[in-house]
Amino acid sequence: MKKKTQLIETVVHGLFLCLGLITVACVLLITVYLIVSGLLAIKEIGLKEFILGTKWASTAAEPSFGILPFILTSIYGTAGAMLIGLPVGFFTAVYLAKAAPAAVKKVIINLVSLLAGIPSVVYGLVGMLVLVPGIRTFFGVPDGAGLLAAIIVLSVMILPSVINVSVTALEAVPKEYEDASLALGATPTETYFRVSVPAAKSGIAAAVALGVGRGIGEAMAVMMVAGNAADMPSLFASVRFLTTAVAAEMAYSGGLQRQALFSIALVLFFFIMLSNAALNFFLKGSKRG
Amino acid sequence: MNLEKRRVWGRRQAVAALLRGAMLLATACTCSLAVFIVFYVLAKGLPDITWGLVSTAPSHIKRTIGILPDILNTVYIIVAAVTAVLPIGAGAAVYLTEYAGNKKTVEVIEYVAETLAGIPSVIYGLVGMLVFSGTFGTSLLAGALTLAVMNLPTVMRTTQESLKTVPQSYREGAFGLGAGKWRVIRTVVLPGCSDGIITGCILAVGRMLGESAALLFTAGFAHVLNGFFDGLAGSGATLTVALYVYAKERGDFETAFAIAAILMGLTLSVNILSSAVGTFFKARREA
């Protein structure tokens, strides 16, 4: 009897361990797959030509695989989105965490989580029909689909992540700090920005890292508004991001072209790992601080 | 001196007013964006939702467009993905909080889950295409498994959080009565953390509803009416993928907005449901 119970315990323990290890297996699988299939094309094309080449013509008679345009587009696009989205998100977060009355805060938090839940294709659709024609008439360019449209869509899409993480960080600031500052004669607004914000800076940095990760990784919304021409980026020109470069050609690719798409995914993965590492670093810092 | 003091105070007032203005402006921006997107999509989409659209399959002969297959595909893929992710995610969380004695193992698995949460959906789509579509063909099943992997961290994290709220004394009481570890988990711990598992599921369903990039190359584009099991074996577009195809490839914005309005309604309901469930369980716990 006792032996049987012990056996069951061991089996169940092993089962739960396996379930836990599946997560690890998934990440290993994804990493190994990407590295193995990504390196094939890089080896064939040459790392320098691949990363620094400015011409992408995967289906030409003499194909050329340079992904510098995609890398730069992803960096510019994400940086631009942060430039617009970060101040808006930051100030909204400070207001929500510190200044807003409870009822207002509840409503706005709900609106923000609604923004977070809207599917990226819906953002893309609204961008296609509102933003793209808007940019065309406002700036008088022949086609509104391009880097600027993508930057604006991305800046809206990263808002919820930036706001949520910053609000959590700001709310975790000990009340004593703020009370001390108020008692010394600082106004409430001065207290928020000169005491609470510096105290929550790790968490806010984590929000930035998360926003960057979201921005670099977004594919569908960007694909619908960026135009997808494989040229070097400029603000009003049609551009292709790392994510959309993978998605745009995957359906009909083969041979070296397909392997090159895996290499692009590997480069994208590398960027994501960088932003993840930054995120973890800052989160650890905010737990300690 | 008095004049100097007043000048400093005036400057402080001005800076504070500026910052307060920035906060209000930014908040107004965020809110009006959310309200605008919701109303714009609903206003453009709702008039195009007809009974014919949601109850038929697209027909080339009658030249009509229907999205019933896409709706069913979405339901199938979510059911299959949740079925797959629930035991794995909840099981992993149980291992981490109840069994793992080794702190290093816990750290590794938690770190890995965080990494998994940060990987963009295009990469999931790519690897899902190689691994799952390579095994099962381009099918809803391959898409569902990809979604399951993507949502593993969500389910795991929420289950873990709620496992931590089950009081240690409950476990000790059960052990003291002579129950084995498995029995304690089955009869005391799991029922106590059902709220976390349910919340995790709702969150995961919300993310699955909105996912598209990971499904393009794993689940495919077909608009065929099928039963559950035939549906899983065959290729099929979910609502999000169908929206992309109608908007970007066919330029049919009426159908696209109708789908967008449906998706918006579903997103709203998932949000309302998750906050309602949260309040319900919180009230029950405090009672």
The percent of residues in chain B predicted with pLDDT above 90, rounded, is: 22
Structural domain contains residue A37: no
Chain B residues lying within 8 Å of A91, measured CB to CB: 22-23, 25-27
pLDDT in tens, A57-93: 777 777 788 888 899 999 999 999 999 999 999 999 9
- The reply to whether B34 and B172 lie within a common domain is no
pLDDT of the residue at B27: 94
State the DSSP string of chain B: -HHHHHHHHHHHHHHHHHHHHHHHHHHHHHHHHHHHHHHHHHHHHGGG--HHHHHS--BTTTTB---HHHHHHHHHHHHHHHHHHHHHHHHHHHIIIII---HHHHHHHHHHHHHHHHS-HHHHHHHHIIIIIHHH-SSHHHHHHHHHHHHHHHHHHHHHHHHHHS-HHHHHHHHHTT--HHHHIIIIIHHHTHHHHHHHHHHHHHHHHH--HHHHTTT--------HHHHHHS----HHHHHHIIIIIS--HHHHHHHHHHHHHHHHHHHHHHHHHHHHHHHHHH-
- CATH number at A82 reads 1.10.3720.10
- The reply to whether B37 and B105 lie within a common domain is no
Chain B residues lying within 8 Å of A37, measured CB to CB: 130
Answer whether B248 touches A (CB < 8 Å).
yes
Answer whether B35 touches A (CB < 8 Å).
yes
* Predicted confidence (pLDDT) at residue B279 exceeds the cutoff of 60: yes
- The reply to whether B86 and B161 lie within a common domain is yes
pLDDT in tens, A141-164: 888 888 999 999 999 999 999 999
Residue range(s) defining the domain that contains residue B97: 53-286
ipTM of model:
0.89
Distance (Å) from the C-alpha of residue A12 to the closest C-alpha of chain B? 7
Structural domain contains residue A28: no
- The reply to whether B108 and B156 lie within a common domain is yes
pLDDT of the residue at A123: 94
- The reply to whether B33 and B91 lie within a common domain is no
Number of domains in chain B: 2
Q: Band of the pLDDT at B62, cuts 50, 70, 90?
A: confident
Residue range(s) defining the domain that contains residue A168: 56-288
Number of domains in chain A: 1
* Predicted confidence (pLDDT) at residue B125 exceeds the cutoff of 60: yes
Mean pLDDT of all residues belonging to chain A: 88
Among the candidates B48, B70, B85, a domain finishes at: B48
Structural domain contains residue A61: yes
pLDDT of the residue at B32: 94
- The reply to whether B33 and B62 lie within a common domain is no
- CATH number at B216 reads 1.10.3720.10
Structural domain contains residue A96: yes
- The reply to whether B97 and B6 lie within a common domain is no
Chain B residues lying within 8 Å of A119, measured CB to CB: 209-212, 240, 243, 263, 267
Structural domain contains residue A254: yes
- The reply to whether B170 and B66 lie within a common domain is yes
